[in-house]
Amino acid sequence: MDAFTVLDARAAPLMRQNVNTDIIIPIHRLRDVPQAELGAYAFEPWRYLPDGSENPEFFLHQPAYRGAQIVVAGDNFACGSSREGAVWAMMGMGVRCVIAPSFGPIFFNNCFQNGVLPIQLPRAEVEAIANELEAATRPGSNHEPRLSVDLQKREVVTPSGRRITFHVDGIRRDALLQGLNEVALTLTREAEIAAHQAKARASTPWLYPAA
C-alpha cells in the first residue's frame, strides 16, 4: 500500500447526499473489468452521455476540476454495497482523499486498506470548503481550487489559507503514514490469535464442531 503523508492537489466538490457505491462503480464493470482498469468506469452512470461521449456536466469533467485528487462530498458518501472496487475506481481516476460529513461504513474502512484518506468533518465545515473551491473557479479569483492535506499535522489548508484540523484514528493514521500492510502486521500476532482461539474453543465448544 502506498503511504499517505501530504497531498497538495486539485479538489472538486460533489455536494450530493447518499452517493452510493453502485454509482461509483456499476456492478457489471466490477465483474468484468480488471482492477487496474476500473478508473475508466468510475461514476459511469453520471460521467457519460447515452451516446458514450463525456458528460460535460459531470463534476470531474469541468475544466477547473479535471484531474482532482481530492473529492469534497455530501453526507453518507459511498453508502451501500461493500464493493472495494469503489475505492479502486476512484483511485483509478487519481483520487487519494475524500472529505465528507459522513461515509458509508464499509467504504470508510476500504479506503484505509488502499492508502486513500477519508476525512470526516462537520457538515458546515465541508460546505464551507466546497464553497471556497467553487469561488476559486470563478473568473477573477486569486485562488485555485486546491486543498493541502497534511496527515502528520491532521490539517486541511483551504484555497484562502484557512487551516482546518481533522481527527483520524491513530492506528489508521500510522498505517497510512507508513504505508503498512495490515495483514502482515496481524500475522505477527499469531501467538495471540492462537491463544484466543484455544480459549474460545474451550469456552464455546459448540462453535467449533470440526475441532
Partner 1 sequence: MPGQTLFDKIWARHVIADLGDDYALLHISRHLMHDGGGRGLQMIRDAGYSVRNPDLTFATFDHVISTEPGRTHETLKPHAARLYHMRDEAKRWGIKLFDLGEPGQGIVHVMGPEQGISLPGTLLVCGDSHTCTHGGVGAIAFGVGATEVIHVLATQSLVQRKPKRMRATFEGTRNPGVTPKDMILFLIGQIGTAGGTGFAVEYAGSAVRALEIEGRLTMCNLSIELGAKIGMVAPDEKTFAFLKGRPYAPTSALWDQAVADWRSLPSDSDAVFDVEVKVDMSRIVPQVTWGTSPEHVIAVTDTIPDPADAGDPDKQKSMQAALDYMGLVAGARLDQTRIDWAFIGSCTNGRLSDLRAAAEVAKGRKVASHVRAWVVPGSENVKRQAEAEGLDRIFLDAGFEWREPGCSMCLAVNGDTIAPGQRSVSTSNRNFVGRQGPGGRTHLASPAMTAAAAIAGRIADVRSI
For partner 1, which is the closer residue by CB, 8 or 182?
182
Least spacing, CB of residue 130 vs partner 1, in Å = 10
DSSP 48: B
* Residue 91, phi-psi category: left (phi > 0), alpha (psi -120 to 50), beta (remainder): alpha
C-alpha cell at position 199? 480459549
Site for partner 1 in 108-137 (CB under 8 A): 109-110, 113-114
Q: Is 207 in the site for partner 1 (CB under 8 A)?
A: yes
Instruction: Determine the interface stretch with partner 1 among 64-72, 73-81, 139-147, 148-156 (rule: CB under 8 A).
Output: 73-81
Complete DSSP assignment for 94-135: T--EEEES-B-HHHHHHHHTTT-EEEE--HHHHHHHHHHHHH
Stretch that binds partner 1, among 55-63, 134-142, 148-156, 183-191 (CB under 8 A): 183-191
CB of 180 to partner 1, least distance (A): 11
| 80: three-class secondary structure by DSSP | coil
CA atoms within 13 A of residue 158's CA, in its CB half-sphere:
21
Q: Give the interface segment with partner 1, choosing from 56-64, 89-97, 146-154, 194-202 (CB under 8 A).
A: 194-202
Using rule CB under 8 A, residue 197 touches partner 1: yes
The single residue listed with the C-alpha cell 464499509 is 106
Reduced to 3 states, what is the DSSP secondary structure of residue 64?
coil
Q: Which residues bind partner 1 (CB under 8 A)?
A: 15-18, 20, 22-23, 26-28, 31, 45, 74-76, 79-85, 87, 102-107, 109-110, 113-114, 169-171, 182-183, 186-187, 189-190, 192-193, 196-197, 200, 204-211
